[in-house]
Amino acid sequence: MDRQVRKEDVPSYEIVEEKIKEIDGSIIVFRIFYIFMQIAYKFQLIKNDKLCTVQIPRKLLEGLNARNMMKEAELNKILESYLVQTDCWNKV
């Protein structure tokens, strides 16, 4: 099972949260898990009564600390591809 982590333990959490709010201000980060097998973080997001899970590679999050524009563009692409898809959002 994936280990749940606190937002303080996630590299560049504030940047991820900021980018999510830019896409849709009503989305809330519910839980975050660290996936050892894929070396990634799994963000569970809630919007109204629906849940969406987004996986973001750890290396990408670590690269955001320096406000790397290419990494930010990559993060935006990942978030938008998940959050605008209606099949990502499942009723809770």
Give the Cα separation of 92 and 69 in Å (integer).
35
pLDDT score at 87: 87
Can you read off the two tokens belonging to residue 7? 């937002």
DSSP of 35-58: ETTTTEEEEEEEETTEEEEEEEEH
Say if residue 1's pLDDT is above 70. no
Summarised one tens digit per residue, pLDDT across range 48-74 is 999 999 999 999 999 987 777 899 999
- Tell me which DSSP letter residue 61 carries: H
Give the Cα separation of 5 and 46 in Å (integer).
17
Say if residue 43's pLDDT is above 90. yes
